Structure formats: C-alpha cells, structure tokens
A and B are shown apart, each in its own frame.
Chain A
Amino acid sequence: MRTIVCLKRVPDTETRIRIDSSGVKVDPAGVKYVISPYDEYAIELALRAKEAAGQGEVELVTYGEPAAQEALRKGLAMGADSALLLTGEPGLDGLATAKTLAAELRGADAPLVLFGVKAADDDLQQVGPMFATLVGRACVTGVASFTLQADKVTCEREVDGATEVVEAQLPAVLTITKGPHEPRLASLKGIMAAKKKPLVEKPAAASPARVRILALREPAPRPAGRIVGQGPDAVPELVRLLRDEAKAI
C-alpha cells in the first residue's frame, strides 16, 4: 500500500513578510523555509497509517523550486520512503497547480493521497479537493485523523464547531488539519537515512495560470490605539467606548 503526501515548502510562520521591489513578489532575503505546517500533519498521519498496516510506503510529492529538495529531505528524515520534486513555479492559480499534480499522479496506485488543508503561504485551501475532482477520487477536507480499511477510509473532521465522522470510498483524497497526532521530529538516524532515500527531480508538466497578481501590499497599519486604563477600574470606560465610539456592542 502506497500513500502519497503532497507538500509545499513555505516561509516559516514566524517569518516577517516583505514585498520586493517588483511589487508582486515576496523578498526571499532572510526568510527561513519549512514544510507547510498542515503538510507536516499529513506526513505524520501517512506514517501512522503505514505503521498501523505494518507495511507500505509513504511517497512525498512537491511542485516547486529546486530548493524544495530540502523540505523533501526533511520529510524523508521523518520517515517517508521516497520523494518526487516536480520543478516549476506554482502561483496563485490553485487549479493550475492541481492540474500539474494530476498530470503526474492521475493513475497513481495509491488508495490515499493526502494534502495539508492549506498552504501557509498562499492560503488557497483548494488544491486538494481540486486534484480529487480532476482525477475522480472521493475527497474529505479538514481531516484531523483517519482509519484506513480495505475499501473505505473513516475520517474525523472539524466543521463549524462540531466533529463529523465521514466515510469515504477508496481511492480518496484527504486534506489534513491539525489533529491529535503531533508531527514527529526527525531523529539523527532518520536524518542520516534520508540522505540515501530516493529523491527524483524532474520538470513539471505545468498547466498555464489564469490568475494574475497585479500587486502585493502589506496590510494597512491600524490607527494607533489607546490604553484605556489600568485594571478593573478601566472597565466602565472601555464599555462606554465600545458602545458609543466603536459601536461594537
């Protein structure tokens, strides 16, 4: 049994984002890159499924710059078995990204393809279900944990402050959110082993993008706020301001 995990290399979430002189790109200077956090949860769940089955392989796939090799090596160090890097430049057109992945993975012999629920850079939250629709697989989004059976996968998903248990027929695509299983840290042994694991790099059969970025801007600075006061005695004034000035209550 093979499980495919599609991941993305993104700036660390603690990184400050600066826009470069082109006005349409982020300045990469000083940015530390990581595996997108939700993708790490997807890797963890794939590894757990393999361990529960006692056999199988976890294959990592990414579409991105050659530097994404580093993210794949990290995933291999966590315990994945092989990796595929489709080189190219994914943009804000998630459907183009999904088509590019589908061109490679359409007939993949893997009951499950996992994605993080969204990438921490473009926040598109769409590539997984688009990929599933393109290749004709069932899809469950926002999955916190799952159990794989012979002909179906049973998922727990978060929605609207409730938890849903959803069964999906195989083959399926799941998008993974933060759940009960924290991503494991790579051990030293894992890091050494990762260097010898297969990592194939080839140009992506990229689908043309139909979303054009006209401009990137930083968020408008918020007008200077004020400290209403110290301690509980400031509460009546705060409530007055919220009611009369902000009209927020």
Chain B
Amino acid sequence: MGNVLAFLERRDGRIGGAALEVMSVAQRVAIGLGGSAHALVLGGPGASAGVGELARFGAAKVEVGEHDGLAEYTPEAYASVLVERARQGGYAAVFLSASAVGRDLAPRLAALLDVPLATDVTAVEVVDGRLRVERPVYSGKAFAQIEIDASPALVSMRPNAFPATESAAAGTVAVFTPAVDPAALRTRVVERKLASRGAVDVSEATTIVSGGRGMKDAAQWHLLEALRDALGPDVALGASRAVVDAGWRPHAEQVGQTGKTVAPKLYLAVGISGAIQHLAGMRTAKTIVAINRDADAPIFQVADYGIVGDLFEVLPRLTAEIKSLRAGS
C-alpha cells in the first residue's frame, strides 16, 4: 500500500501557507508510490471549516479531528491522535511541516511510531518505490541525500522550499472526535506573551528583512520595520548573530548556524557582512538582496542584487519606492 498522510496545521483559524506545500508534496509522493494522499487536520470544534479546499491540492480524503483539547497545540495530545491515525491508516509515508509546531511534534511522533525522522527536508523523490530525501546539514553548508529504511517514512519539510501545486482530488471530508484527556498532559502553557506584531516566525516568512551590525544601533531598527511594513504580510525581521549577541535583537530573529535556517522567496540583508555561519543559514533563499557600504563584503558573493552604499540613505528610499509601487498596483 502506498498511501501517504499529510499532517496540516491550522494557523489563525485557517489552513494555508506551508500546509499547502505539505499537501502538494504528499500528493506527488502518493502518485509515485501508487497510492493516494490523505490529510489530517486537528483543532477545536469547527476546525473542519474550509478544509474542502485541500481537494484542490491533492487530498483524496481529509480527516478532521475536533476536540476542545486540541484547540491549542499541545505536543502530547497532538502526538497521541496523530500516532493513532498514522498506525490505523498503514501509511507508507507521513509528511508535516518543519514549522515551530512541526519541529516540536515530529520527534515525539517518530519515537511513538518507532521510525526515524528526516527533518527540515528540502527535496523529496520516489526512486524504485522508496523515498529519497535531501536535507541540509551544518545549517546548509552541505546537503545530505538520505534513504529511510522504515515504514512509514516520516518527513518534516522546510517551509517555503516546495511549491504549493494544484492537483484536483476527491477531497471527501470526515470529521471525528478523538479521545483527548487534558488531565493526562504533563506540560501546560500558563502564559503566552505575544511579540509586538503578528507572529510570523522568521523560518516561515516568505520575505525576510534582516539587519546586521551595519545598522549601528538597536534604535535604528525602525528603518527595517518600516521596510517590513511596506512589503506587506508574511514578512519577518531577521538579524545577524552579531546584533543578537550585542543584545539589540532577540535570538528568535537570528538567522544562521546558531539561529534559524531560512529559505524565503526574498531575503534582504541590510548592513550584514556575511559571515560563513550567516551565509549557511540563508543561502537557499530564492532571491537575495544585499545593501552594504563595503563592496568587498562576502554577502555580495551570494546576493543576486546588491547596492553599495550608506544604508541610512538607501533604506528610506527603498521603503518609499516599495510603498509607491504598492499604491500604484
């Protein structure tokens, strides 16, 4: 049997973004294995709203587990439901996103299913009925092509590394009520302090505006925030290790080997020289723009487009030009 399960996250009450990438890959792999792709969505009552859309991205069947205890992500409750579904379905492969939730959830699922886990995968193919995946090691300084000798093959996919491709399937929706016992959970979220602006994690953003030591001072970050706001939604701020170490920015924003490894569609490196450990973390971005005063900075070796100049002059102009472009379109 070659059926494939895609675990899809709801975010802000809907399915979107990286979940559609996961669905598309699951569908492609299912075809390669001669099976069909199923989707699993978990959430509180009403979580099934809008899941019919998944048919367009290849879901032959969408299973939705609704329970009050699943309204917010908790690793133990989600893992227990997911492992049961994965076992019952006898899947050849299980895919999820290497999002913040996926990174927390997938290892527990792997241990419960007693199968290895390929994390943060950037390429997937089926060769002779077996799954072959590629994933970065050393934060992207190298890539390892690996084969997993276990069933199901469990894979977490790097956000933004795969296209969301439309491919129609039946998309029957089945809602079920899983057994969840909140009292059995050994961890409990007691407080959630939101960051200043909507929560776009730097590892999932489609565009990243990243600042380095060239910004001179933490107080100058309003220039990057203005550019971020001009670029629209799904844009996150990033930072080099130097400015995180200096305490200008939180570690959650750090891009590089001791921070996040990212693959956005657009990466703007502002005042970042391009240390090897930073380049490792962002070099798979689709388009890289560098703005730096030093024409010899290593960042220009990976940038598609560069401007050599004083960022304090270039940034406001760039923000203004993008704003007027948006206003005109």
Q: Give every chain A residue within 8 A of B317 (Cβ-Cβ).
A: 232, 235
Q: Is A124 among interface residues, defined by CB-CB distance under 8 A?
A: yes
Which residues of B from 138 to 180 have beta carbons under 8 Å from A? 138-150
Task: Pick the residue among A93, A134, A219, A225 that contacts B111 (CB under 8 A).
Answer: A134
Cβ B189 vs Cβ A166 within 8 A = yes
A94 and B257 contact, Cβ closer than 8 Å, known pairs A141-B103, A213-B144: no
A123 and B286 contact, Cβ closer than 8 Å, known pairs A161-B199, A164-B189: no
Q: Is B218 among interface residues, defined by CB-CB distance under 8 A?
A: no
Cβ B307 vs Cβ A231 within 8 A = yes
Give the nearest-CB partner of B195 in chain A: A161
A166 and B187 contact, Cβ closer than 8 Å, known pairs A92-B144, A93-B116, A217-B143: yes
The interface-forming segment of A13-21, A79-87, A106-114, A190-198 is A13-21
CA A22 to CA B24, docked complex, whole Å: 34
Task: Pick the residue among A95, A160, A164, A178 that contacts B254 (CB under 8 A).
Answer: A178
Q: Give every chain B residue within 8 A of A169 (Cβ-Cβ).
A: 186-187
Cβ B120 vs Cβ A125 within 8 A = yes
Cβ B142 vs Cβ A216 within 8 A = yes
CA A106 to CA B283, docked complex, whole Å: 40
Cβ A228 vs Cβ B305 within 8 A = yes
A92 and B146 contact, Cβ closer than 8 Å, known pairs A11-B138, A130-B110, A226-B306: yes
Cβ A211 vs Cβ B138 within 8 A = no
Q: Is A26 among interface residues, defined by CB-CB distance under 8 A?
A: yes
CA A232 to CA B311, docked complex, whole Å: 8
Minimum CB–CB distance from B153 to chain A (whole Å) comes to 10
Q: Is B95 among interface residues, defined by CB-CB distance under 8 A?
A: no
Cβ B307 vs Cβ A123 within 8 A = no
Minimum CB–CB distance from B286 to chain A (whole Å) comes to 7
Task: Pick the residue among B142, B150, B306, B314 that contacts A227 (CB under 8 A).
Answer: B306
Minimum CB–CB distance from A130 to chain B (whole Å) comes to 4
Cβ B142 vs Cβ A225 within 8 A = no
Q: Is B67 among interface residues, defined by CB-CB distance under 8 A?
A: no
Cβ B306 vs Cβ A138 within 8 A = no
Cβ A166 vs Cβ B114 within 8 A = no
| Cβ proximity bits B304-320 to A, threshold 8 Å, 1 near / 0 not | 11111110011011100
Q: Give every chain A residue within 8 A of B186 (Cβ-Cβ).
A: 138, 168-169, 172
CA A140 to CA B308, docked complex, whole Å: 44
Which residues of A from 191 to 249 have beta carbons under 8 Å from B? 209-219, 222-223, 225-232, 234-236, 238-239, 241-243, 246, 248-249
Cβ B139 vs Cβ A120 within 8 A = yes
| Cβ proximity bits A18-52 to B, threshold 8 Å, 1 near / 0 not | 01000000100000000001100000000000000
Cβ A133 vs Cβ B111 within 8 A = yes
Q: Give every chain B residue within 8 A of A215 (Cβ-Cβ).
A: 144-145
CA A235 to CA B309, docked complex, whole Å: 11
Task: Pick the residue among B251, B306, B318 that contacts A177 (CB under 8 A).
Answer: B251
Give the nearest-CB partner of A133 in chain B: B111
Q: What is the interface residue range for chain B against chain A?
A: 35 or more
| Cβ proximity bits A149-165 to B, threshold 8 Å, 1 near / 0 not | 00000100011111111
Cβ B145 vs Cβ A13 within 8 A = no
Cβ A121 vs Cβ B137 within 8 A = yes
Q: Give every chain A residue within 8 A of B252 (Cβ-Cβ).
A: 158, 161
Task: Pick the residue among B192, B201, B289, B300 that contacts A242 (CB under 8 A).
Answer: B289
Q: What is the interface residue range for chain A against chain B?
A: 35 or more
Cβ B119 vs Cβ A125 within 8 A = yes
A162 and B193 contact, Cβ closer than 8 Å, known pairs A120-B257, A227-B300: yes
Q: Give every chain A residue within 8 A of B191 (Cβ-Cβ).
A: 164-165
Q: Is A144 among interface residues, defined by CB-CB distance under 8 A?
A: yes
Which residues of B from 288 to 302 have beta carbons under 8 Å from A? 288-290, 295, 300-302
CA A165 to CA B188, docked complex, whole Å: 9
Cβ A242 vs Cβ B111 within 8 A = no
The interface-forming segment of B41-49, B56-64, B85-93, B258-266 is B258-266
Give the nearest-CB partner of B245 in chain A: A182
Q: Give every chain B residue within 8 A of A235 (Cβ-Cβ).
A: 307, 314, 317-318, 321
Q: Give every chain B residue within 8 A of A93 (Cβ-Cβ).
A: 116
Cβ B288 vs Cβ A161 within 8 A = no
Cβ B266 vs Cβ A248 within 8 A = yes
A96 and B303 contact, Cβ closer than 8 Å, known pairs A26-B142, A217-B143: no
Minimum CB–CB distance from A191 to chain B (whole Å) comes to 24
Q: Is B75 among interface residues, defined by CB-CB distance under 8 A?
A: yes
Q: Give every chain A residue within 8 A of B108 (Cβ-Cβ).
A: 129-130, 132-133, 139
Q: Can you list 16 A-B pairs, Cβ within 8 angstroms, ordered by A?
A: A94-B119, A120-B139, A120-B258, A129-B104, A130-B117, A138-B187, A139-B187, A162-B195, A164-B189, A164-B192, A165-B191, A216-B143, A228-B305, A230-B308, A232-B309, A246-B266
Residue ranges of B at the interface with A (Cβ–Cβ < 8 Å):
75, 79, 100, 103-104, 106-108, 110-112, 114-120, 132, 135-150, 186-195, 197, 199-202, 207, 231, 236, 244, 250-252, 254, 256-259, 261, 265-266, 275-277, 283-284, 286-290, 295, 300-310, 313-314, 316-318, 321-322, 325
Residue ranges of A at the interface with B (Cβ–Cβ < 8 Å):
11, 13-14, 16-17, 19, 26, 37-38, 92-96, 98, 120-130, 132-134, 138-142, 144, 154, 158-169, 172, 177-179, 209-219, 222-223, 225-232, 234-236, 238-239, 241-243, 246, 248-249
